[in-house]
Structure 1
């Protein structure tokens, strides 16, 4: 059984992430979407539990996809689970440079680790969790960037002047 891991912070999960996860689910017997922690990124807007719940909500129709979290080296997680493939999505050449370094480091730490790069669909080339958070924070329409299954949760947390935020401000 070929097990692949799709690691990321997923804060929040976007349609770009979902595209890569869906395509990976067609290539591998089992795909673990791994909520991991990047110490170089700002503090997460959504808790680990919330991110896991959102990923489960958008992947519920993918029978061979499971969600997990890990706060350690990806190579160690692969060893622990028996996974041998890391799936990473690439939007631009700038993504490749960083991800190529990570692939080499993971291979050095765990020789059985192979990294597979999937290029993003053209409509998602600009899309990132950071873009979603920024647009939402200014009240912009993010419905074309995230799954309808989690749209309200994201808007309630990030969009100004939503009913939930107005209620919080009234307290």
Structure 2
């Protein structure tokens, strides 16, 4: 029975599969709960909002996305009625991205959906196994972020900008 052995998927494949499966459930469920136009790219910004607002530069840092991409996504969210831009009371030259009532509804529903997904996995795996998985996964994430934060020139990049 050679050739029928299943190859173990690598970390990238598993992480991608998990992320896509969770996103699919999250955004399909959100669509059924009154948020049919929200996409994963929007979620990457909505996840970091606070009721009092956040500067786009902070959203860029928190999401790991370039400031111009964040600006484009915020423009889309403004058009969809999820956020508005307001002057920052601490610096009138800066703007805050503030969730609207519709945006706060999406944020609350997304958090509840993600909590339900997590609860379902905890039930399926058992509390101890799920806690161990989550703790280990968090350590992997922290280790990877440490690499990113200390790496001046990631492999495959040209520091000269050429």
Flag the structure with larger Rg. 2
Same fold (TM over 0.5): no
**TM-score using structure 2 length:** 0.33
